[in-house]
């Protein structure tokens, strides 16, 4: 095998074209990163800007144009698997109290530096949702009439009944975080799956005409935009999916990767893919990039949150809006141009009424509540929303 000289990456006079080709040869000589070869890869790339170069390659239009889908896939897998390995290594280091860079070996310091680099490369469009806590749920419904005072809604009365049962018992029924009222039902948020089992067993016999259920979870959904296939041919969709799975190195033993919906767009279609949690995890580790063969696409997490761009409220789509049009920046009703659009301090959100925020702000409390409800229905523990 020809020697792969990745030392040329340090040389500023070598053109990118040659560097990229050296990196590709190097990456292909290893193939998949795994437990057996990761240490030797790290030793080989010590002091060499291999990850930076890979990053540049994978965003270089010309390189992407000239490279086969298989090679692009190999490179993007290699980059993200190495980064993941470095993150795991750092977590081990951080668990040790009193670790500082001073006390580290060269090897540890290098890993630490690479790790910081890996952290910084989360795409800046992604939304961090680590602050949104998702708890195991029980949904309580009943069609039986509930005695209630006139000023209380049915869910409010249901909630009082459950609270009374829990208050009156001396049994430790399990940890409850909160009881939340819905439109016609209530939801108990439990502090763990184990608590949920206990609470369910405790409450079910005490509420005979109610139904207590654990809501089913669906697999995460992602959207891929501007895919050029002819959706009128069902075979075209199936072929496309099979190639996508193979090219990205996804495992699909139970055929859980499915196209659930597609929208026609001028340049092809946008489609929704239902994927198992492990695949969602894998895509996140690759910074959301998906290999479409002729190009890399960004996966976008999809949630069924309807937002109307006419009245700027949630719950219906623009085509079904029966309300007066309202400005998403200042909450006022005015003509086409908003007088304060370019002055964020004078924005006012029409949904949460917060000053300095607008209807498109993902930090909006109303949006975050909608998002939490959708996340609760999904079989994935989101740290980031790929947006």
Footprint of Zn ion (CB under 5 A): 308, 310-311, 321, 323, 327, 329-330, 338, 349, 351-352, 357, 364
Shortest Cβ 332–Zn ion spacing (Å):
5
3-state SS class at 259: strand
Shortest Cβ 353–Zn ion spacing (Å):
7
Q: Which is nearer to Zn ion, 232 or 319 (CB)?
A: 319
Q: Which is nearer to Zn ion, 185 or 310 (CB)?
A: 310
Asked if 318 and 359 touch (Cβ cutoff 8 Å), the reply is no
Shortest Cβ 198–Zn ion spacing (Å):
37
Provide φ and ψ at 189, rounded to 5°.
-95, 120
User: For 129-135, which contacts have Cβ atoms below 8 Å and span 24 or more sequence positions?
Assistant: 129/371, 129/375, 129/382, 129/383, 129/384, 129/385, 130/383, 132/368, 132/371, 132/372, 132/375, 132/382, 134/372, 134/375, 134/376, 134/381, 135/177, 135/178, 135/189, 135/190, 135/191
Q: Which is nearer to Zn ion, 93 or 323 (CB)?
A: 323
Pairing of strands 300-301, 221-227: antiparallel
Could you give the C-alpha distances from 72 to 162, 259, 306, 334, 363, in angstroms and in order?
Answer: 56, 23, 35, 49, 35
Q: Which is nearer to Zn ion, 193 or 323 (CB)?
A: 323
Q: Which is nearer to Zn ion, 76 or 358 (CB)?
A: 358
Q: Which is nearer to Zn ion, 289 or 351 (CB)?
A: 351
Shortest Cβ 320–Zn ion spacing (Å):
8
Shortest Cβ 378–Zn ion spacing (Å):
23
Shortest Cβ 387–Zn ion spacing (Å):
17
């Amino acid at each position: 095998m020809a020697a792969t000289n990745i030392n040329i990456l340090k040389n500023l006079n070598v053109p990118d074209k040659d560097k990229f080709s050296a990196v590709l040869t190097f990456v292909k000589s290893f193939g998949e990163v795994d437990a057996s070869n990761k240490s030797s890869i790290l030793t080989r790339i010590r002091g060499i800007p291999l990850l930076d170069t890979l990053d540049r390659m994978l965003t270089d239009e010309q390189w992407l144009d000239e490279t086969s889908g298989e090679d692009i896939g190999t490179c993007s897998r290699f980059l993200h698997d190495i980064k993941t390995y470095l993150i795991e290594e750092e977590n081990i280091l951080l668990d040790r109290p009193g670790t500082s860079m001073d006390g580290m070996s060269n090897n540890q310091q290098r890993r630490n530096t690479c790790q910081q680099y890996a952290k910084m490369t989360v795409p800046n469009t992604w939304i961090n949702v680590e602050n949104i806590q998702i708890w195991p749920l029980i949904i309580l419904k009943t069609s039986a009439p509930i005695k209630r005072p006139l000023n209380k809604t049915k869910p409010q009365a249901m909630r009082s009944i459950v609270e009374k049962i829990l208050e009156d018992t001396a049994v430790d029924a399990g940890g409850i975080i909160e009881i939340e009222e819905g439109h016609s039902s209530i939801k108990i948020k439990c502090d763990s799956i184990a608590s949920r089992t206990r609470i369910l067993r405790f409450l079910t016999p005490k509420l005979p005409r109610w139904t207590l259920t654990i809501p089913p979870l669906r697999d995460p959904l992602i959207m891929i935009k501007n895919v050029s296939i002819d959706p009128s041919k069902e075979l075209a969709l199936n072929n496309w999916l099979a190639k996508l799975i193979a090219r990205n190195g996804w495992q699909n033993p139970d055929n859980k990767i499915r196209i659930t919906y597609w929208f026609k767009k001028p340049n092809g279609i946008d489609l929704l893919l239902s994927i198992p949690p492990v695949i969602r995890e894998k895509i996140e580790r690759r910074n959301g990039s998906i290999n479409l063969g002729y190009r890399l696409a960004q996966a976008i997490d999809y949630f069924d949150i309807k937002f109307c761009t006419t009245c700027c409220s949630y719950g219906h789509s623009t085509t079904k809006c029966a309300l007066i049009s309202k400005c998403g920046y200042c909450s006022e009703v005015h003509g086409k141009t908003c007088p304060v659009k370019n002055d964020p301090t004078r924005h006012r959100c029409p949904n949460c009424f917060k000053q300095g925020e607008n209807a498109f702000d993902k930090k909006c409390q109303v949006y975050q509540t909608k998002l939490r409800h959708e996340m609760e229905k999904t079989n994935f523990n989101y740290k980031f929303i790929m947006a």
